[in-house]
Amino acid sequence: MFDAQPTISAPGRPCLVRKLFAGCLLLPLLSGLPLGAQSPDATTVALAVQQQIVKAIEQTESSVVAISKIKIPKQKFQSRIPAPFGIDPNQGFSISQDPQDLNFIPNEFGSGILIPDPTKQNRILVLTNFHLTEGGPIAEQTSIPESRIYVHTANRQGFYAEIIAADPRSDLAVLTPVQPVSPEYARSLTPIRYGKNQPVKKGQFVIALGNPYAIARDGSPSASWGIISNFHRYPVPIFKHFLNQEIAKEETLHHFGTLLQVDTHLDLGTSGGALLDLEGNLIGVTTALAALEGYEKSVGYAIPIDQSTLRIIDSLAAGLEAEYGFLGIEPGTLDRGQVRNSFPGAVGLDAPFYVEASRVKQHSPAQLAGMLPHDLILSVNGQKLTHDLDLMREVGKAGAGNEIKLQILRGKKARELTLNVKLGKWPVADDEGIIQTRYRHPLWRGLRVDYPTARRKYTFSPFSYPPAVVVTHVAPDSPAQQAGLKEGAFISQINGQAVQTPDSFYQEAQKVNNSPVTLLYLDGQKLILPPASNKKQ
């Protein structure tokens, strides 16, 4: 791992050196010393660490970019940041509007990461935070955006970018150049390497690359290093009521404890930047600051790059909405005493807290899998639970339509059971914030459907799970519109076959030739949907 003397890299032996300069403990780095070997001095160890950090940065820095957001129309902006170097752009200072000019100082800025194209199209893709892209141009849309997005890359080059897809729930977005770049320039843009899907550990050394205070807008990212302070951290909690749509819009997946806490300098502008391990692999996307206003700001958060995050990134890179799993229960957290009273015959219930299915919605994925009220949920896919937020996080990360394995405890005799649940879709509160340029299914006779819980605005009761699909779009002058179909309608059957997921609906639709189709609404009404006049289904 380190380019140093053999006495440092030999595996599996105790070390003799205890401290490095400034009191920095480097026991993990020295564990390779063989028995009887002479301990290297502090300078040798420090140079070995320094060499590895420099090597990781050199291998990766060209994959990290600076992002500037430029308002449209161009006019004197109101700076949202402290004046860089004491220069206040609102006090008559002339600022270039050319992003390639070194005098250009954006009023909104951040960082991004060049990532591999999961669709194998070899496109130039930039991963960044959703909140950095709001109001930016969307691919294949002709409407005038609020802002343009400029991406600064290495060697003071760059390009204007547009959004392929963006997701407020994960705070992630994927960009691509508005116009094709030259083949030579494209070859110089190296996607970053993802980590090896190994769990991060508290105390693990990390490197952060980003664009603090927009000073990396020349295309050369700034670096800092530190450690992983903790994981499964929560930003400031949102105290919400399930009927309050506006508060629900502010909730993200990260409010359920996904974030890495990082002890390194994540100053303003490093959102969307790269968090690396010492081999230069991407293990996180840096995001919000953790500190209170006016206090030390060296501690921040990062979104971990794990399998669930890669699933989201792949969806966004394909232009699709990133979907999250939904179980269809009302969970609750019980303490050890409450659990022992409810399950007197159980042994080994020594954890401080447990998660209960307080209510199971009728027709929900949980009920279809056999879950009952008051079942105790011990784990999701082997991940133990200590709070209902843990359950919501793990279910959400798994994704809509995917199957999870729940370990549960049931009944006075405390039988332990395994349930396989095919998840529904988390109800989106802020559908206006979602940007997608493609759909998983094409329009069929002018209509598009989704899970019954796809959008919170369609679900008529927080205590029910409609056994149907919901119509999310009806195209003008289509057979669906001509038949009187409306957005928000729940369809429970197509030609007598029950449908509860978009996949099942479109599977039944594909069986239909160019003939009328009978749709059954959830309230029992029927609608005859004529075929398309051009004979396209």
Domain-located, residue 74: yes
Tokens 């997608």 locate to: 436
Asked whether residue 505 is domain-assigned, the answer is: yes
Provide the domain limits for residue 472: 439-529
Kindly state whether residues 71 and 50 are assigned to the same domain.
no
Is the same domain home to 233 and 285?
yes
Spatial separation of the C-alpha atoms in residues 29 and 205, rounded to whole Å: 10
User: Looking at the structure, do residues 393 and 453 belong to the same domain, yes or no?
Assistant: no
- pTM equals 0.85
Whether 70 and 40 map to the same domain: the answer is no
Has residue 348 been placed in a domain? yes
pLDDT band per the 50, 70, 90 thresholds, residue 247: low
pLDDT value at position 151? 97
286 and 220 belong to one structural domain: yes
The pLDDT-based confidence of 7 (bands split at 50, 70, 90) is very low
pLDDT of residue 100: 81
C-alpha to C-alpha distances, 365 to 400, 404, 513, nearest whole angstrom: 11, 11, 31
Q: Which of 188, 219, 248 is the last residue of a domain?
A: 188
The domain that holds 339 is classified in CATH as 2.30.42.10
* 172 compared with 535, residue with greater pLDDT: 172
Confidence band of 289 (pLDDT split at 50, 70, 90)? low
Both 457 and 512 in one domain: the answer is: yes
61 in helix, strand or coil? helix
Residues 192, 64: contact at Cβ < 8 Å? yes
Same-domain status, 154 and 169? yes
| Residue 455 to residue 246: CA distance in whole angstroms | 14
Q: What is the mean pLDDT of residues 377-390?
A: 93
Residues 6+ apart with CB under 8 A from 312: 167, 170, 172, 322
Residue 157, C-beta contacts closer than 8 angstroms, at least 6 positions apart: 185, 188, 219
Over the stretch 472-524, which tens digit does the pLDDT of each residue have? 999 999 999 999 999 999 999 999 999 999 999 999 999 988 899 999 999 99
- CATH code at position 177: 2.40.10.10
Give the confidence band of 17 by pLDDT, cuts at 50, 70, 90: very low
Q: Specify which residues 260 forms β-bridges with.
A: 302
How confident is the model over 84-132, as pLDDT tens digits? 433 344 433 335 678 888 778 888 999 999 999 999 999 999 999 999 9
> Last residue of a domain, which of 387, 422, 457?
422
Give a yes or no: residue 431 inside a domain. no
pLDDT of residue 401: 96
Q: Does the pLDDT of residue 384 top 70, yes or no? A: yes
Please give the tally of structural domains in the chain. 5
pLDDT value for 460:
62
| Residue pLDDT, tens place only, 297-330 | 556 899 999 999 999 999 999 999 999 999 999 9
463 found inside a domain: yes
| Same-domain status, 297 and 369 | no
Please check whether residue 343 lies inside any domain of the structure: yes
152 falls within a domain: yes
In terms of Cα–Cα distance, which of 515, 512, 458, 455 is closest to 486? 458
Residue 82 predicted with pLDDT over 60: no
Closest Cα to residue 265, out of 198, 331, 206? 206
Structural tokens at position 473? 């779009």
Residues 41 and 84 in one domain: no
Task: For residues 346 and 292, state if they share a domain.
Answer: no
In tens, the pLDDT along 184-212 reads 999 999 999 999 878 889 999 999 999 99
Q: What's the pLDDT band for 534 if we cut at 50, 70, 90?
A: low
225 and 174 in a common domain:
no
Q: Please identify, among 422, 456, 484, the residue that sits at the C-terminal boundary of a domain.
A: 422
In a domain, 72, yes or no: yes
